[in-house]
Chains A and B, each alone.
Chain A
């Protein structure tokens, strides 16, 4: 989730896209990823290289790529939509790609980044905030509805450690880029693009993730060491007390990658050839009795003589009724009832 808007927050979109890229590279398909970007940097008119988002200066790595699917864009990234995706309380007409269809055997990775984090909150699009209490309650709802097996929460923003202070549901592990009272800093500006490209924590995390392949055995303890204070300037923190397994035994690919079970069979399966006989089983198409025709694109005569739509008649209400009642009352007051026969 990237929660910040405007061109000078290019680095948060680059952060999110680099984690998206690593996760896709390690095997998780788009149907299992919900990507929320609060602003569009790649096709922003200020981007000197359209359709690209770079994470290294000298434009080495284009994290936007050619095969990206953003599920929530621009104004759709709100606190309400984010919490609805997490808890599953979504309007019924939401398409599948915008839902989190997880069950109690799913491991979920949540990565959030934004420009304005504070002690206990994170601002969304500079106009609303999400508090750590809300987030903890959302996770508890997810736990009670059995929407996750294990959850890894990573946040890269200022005072990020405050966001995981209030969690109380089991099986949650959390990482943050800075402690309470510290700011998370950005890495390096690119003079060609003109803005900072990445945040330090995510930059070193991306370097670390680039070396992971789907079968690697690195565990969570290595992820905790990924950005020491000398490189990151802020102190990254983590929280594992709610997690049942020992972080030593938890593989990185449990959250960042996807392992599919493949069963190899040795017997041959014969498929029926698509024969033309199949077609005759379909219902015969009805043929019209007379030729169909296309509509006229600009039937001037028909348009001019179009009758205006008859509005349904409503009895007069409100002001008109009151006005007429007043007129009739004044009339009877002045002239008396016995003159009614003159009216009719």
Chain B
């Protein structure tokens, strides 16, 4: 009788649960995809893809076992290793800030990984090593080469980009592998993390043969906790996958600057990803120097969006792939841009902040690293944090560090230097420098090259050794005041960095990596030494041994055989001495 009662109660309970949940409850995860096409001042085209999955669940607590849009590989990684923020970028090429302008999100050449751990993690170094190994398996990259010789703990840069409850820099780790190659085998697992894969939506444009035939290719994964809504009382996890590629339209377009989606990617868009709640294409049609009618975009956009991005007012043509009117006329969307008249390329707008780094000196003993930072703002000064990581085999002389601005010495407001330990830790130099308006700041430091043990050289040592890019973080004052953006309503490329106030925007720049030749030994010397030593030992020891132990005794000459006797008889007749 009790069993019967329970049988009746169970469906009632289920019904109650269903009713309590309510109809039409919002799903807990959402995907937004976006493509931003911006023509650069030199005529190249930059295409930035962003795929953002927001998941209203707390990955840290509770057993989360049902993954829908958020990839399981990354979700379990975050939960198991106590990761608060993860940023991994694989880049091929270099973003030329001086000619192309400020990048939306730049990454240094090679592989860059920086992670903030939760305060509950006790052994951060162990978690860091495990994390880099797991990520090397997921992304087919040699991230397992990240160890204490190329990991640093910055003290002022790389503040968390997500929600943070205090910033104890002991929980931060940063590493760069400048020698890492990016190719299709890194793109394939990146594409497999997307909910729609590369089969629908904007990701159909991602074909490796076109993406790697470019001047700059950068793919990144960013995981961070964000506010769930305006009141910001609950935490959601956000996964952003970004891919930036810069095509050289002159080289591939027979000398004309016109481009189209088909010419760049050899594909066109046919539909949006069915799992996405938003899927848009933005084309930057900002007029330069207040001249309209300079360019023409086909098909004509349904709407136009204006925003203040990086201190400049910009206009974007918007194509919404989810709106049914877009595919009325043709089944596929091929955005084309034509320049009406040739643009005079005599004046390229220079960005407010850009930097350059090079190594000078001669010979294989000493050298000098110089960094030039330009502030082209006419009247505003602002501070910049410079983070330099130099491998231990380039021994820096900190007493030769000089910072010169406009001919005078410039003392940094904050300086943190951690010297290297041979084979254990690299150099870390962090400085907060004030850049006066309209100035060039030159930072130089001298170094000496060390001789490595012969097993520590790579199989191709004559290629040289890389010094990873330095990082410049700055709050650049903007020309136009920026309003606070609502993350959910505004395009994704405006909400990369959390905005602090409207008067300045945060930018992170990377300089060039450096290639330095170390004194390389002759690798055939061990073989030569072994041969020579063995020969000498054999000759000397052999001779001594023979001298000491060889005895001589007289040997009776033998009578010889029949032939010899006959020959002797003939010789006796001839008068010749016998044999």
Contact = CB atoms under 8 A, between A and B. Distances in A.
Contacts of B181: 40, 43, 73-74
Contacts of A75: 142, 145, 458-459
A280 B141 CA distance: 40
Interface string B277-319: 0000000000000000000000000000000000000000000
B20 A95 contact: no
B275 to A, nearest CB: 14
Interface string A103-114: 000000000000
Count chain B CB atoms within 10 A of each CB in A6, A49, A297 and give the residue with the most: A297
A89 interface: no
A343 interface: no
A96 B209 CA distance: 28
Contacts of A334: none
B62 A97 contact: no
B140 interface: yes
Contacts of A42: 183-184, 212
Nearest to B159: A295
A296 B157 CA distance: 11
Contacts of B414: 303-304, 306
Interface string B521-540: 00100000000000000000
Nearest to A305: B414
A298 B474 contact: yes
Interface string B199-231: 000000001110111000000000000010001
Given A67-B188, A75-B458, A300 B383 contact: yes
A50 interface: yes
Contacts of A317: none
Contacts of B211: 51
A93 interface: yes
A280 B22 CA distance: 11
A98 interface: yes
Interface string B110-150: 00000000000000000001100110111011101100000
B140 A73 contact: yes
Nearest to B135: A95
B188 A292 contact: no
Nearest to A4: B459
Interface in A80-130: 93-98, 125-127
Contacts of B142: 73-76
Interface string A283-299: 10111100111111111
B563 interface: no
Contacts of B566: none
B413 interface: yes
Nearest to B224: A294
Contacts of B184: 42-43, 51, 64-66, 68
B82 to A, nearest CB: 16
Nearest to A72: B142
Contact of B162 (A95, A275, A294): A294
A102 B64 CA distance: 31
Contacts of B227: 291-292
Interface in A27-85: 40, 42-43, 49-52, 64-71, 73-76
A292 B185 CA distance: 39
B58 interface: yes
Contacts of B473: 297-298
B163 A292 contact: yes
B69 to A, nearest CB: 13
B47 to A, nearest CB: 16
Given A93-B133, A298-B475, A69 B432 contact: no
Contact of A69 (B14, B140, B383, B506): B140
Given A70-B140, A277-B17, A298-B385, A5 B185 contact: no
A40 B183 contact: yes
A291 B61 contact: no
B259 to A, nearest CB: 19
A340 interface: no
Interface stretch (B232-240, B266-274, B328-336, B359-367): B232-240
Contacts of B14: 277
Interface SS, A side: loop
Contacts of B491: none
A115 B141 CA distance: 24
B565 interface: no
Nearest to B14: A277
Contact of B432 (A49, A276, A304): A304
B341 interface: no
B21 interface: yes
Contacts of A191: none
Contact of B385 (A94, A283, A296, A303): A303
Interface in A261-277: 275-277
Contacts of A6: 460
B133 to A, nearest CB: 4
Nearest to B68: A274
Contacts of A283: 61-62
A173 to B, nearest CB: 30
Contacts of A297: 159, 161, 473, 475, 497-498, 500, 506
A43 B92 contact: yes
Given A51-B183, A282-B62, A93 B25 contact: no
A312 interface: no
A279 interface: yes
Nearest to A96: B137
Interface string B435-475: 00000000000000000000000111000000000000111
A95 B137 contact: yes
A316 B144 CA distance: 38
A51 B498 contact: no
A280 to B, nearest CB: 6
A18 B269 CA distance: 32
Given A297-B159, A298-B475, A51 B140 contact: no
Contacts of B234: 285, 287-288
Interface string A243-279: 0000000000000000000000000000000011111
A161 to B, nearest CB: 26
Q: Which of B61, B140, B458 is the most central at the interface, judged by chain A CB atoms within 10 Å of its CB?
A: B140
Nearest to B143: A95
A291 B233 CA distance: 5
A300 B432 contact: yes
A276 B233 contact: no
Contacts of A127: 459, 523
A279 B28 contact: yes
Nearest to B474: A298
B189 interface: yes
Contacts of B167: 295
Contacts of A49: 209, 213
A126 B459 contact: yes
Nearest to B383: A300
| Most chain A C-beta atoms within 10 Å of own C-beta, residue among B385, B413, B459 | B459
B426 interface: no
Contacts of A299: 159
Given A50-B213, A51-B212, A297-B500, A68 B188 contact: yes
A286 B58 CA distance: 9
B233 A292 contact: yes
Determine which residue in A64, A298, A306 has the highest number of CB atoms from chain B within 10 A of its CB, and name it. A298
6 contacts: A6-B460, A275-B21, A292-B232, A293-B232, A298-B383, A303-B156
**Which 7 residue pairs spanning A and B have beta carbons closest together?**
A95-B137, A294-B498, A43-B183, A295-B164, A125-B459, A276-B21, A291-B232
Interface of B: 14, 17-18, 20-22, 25, 28, 56-58, 61-62, 64, 66, 92, 129-130, 133-134, 136-138, 140-142, 144-145, 155-156, 159-165, 167, 179, 181-185, 188-189, 207-209, 211-213, 227, 231-235, 383, 385, 413-414, 416, 432, 458-460, 473-475, 497-498, 500, 506, 523
Interface of A: 5-6, 40, 42-43, 49-52, 64-71, 73-76, 93-98, 125-127, 275-280, 282-283, 285-288, 291-300, 303-304, 306, 308
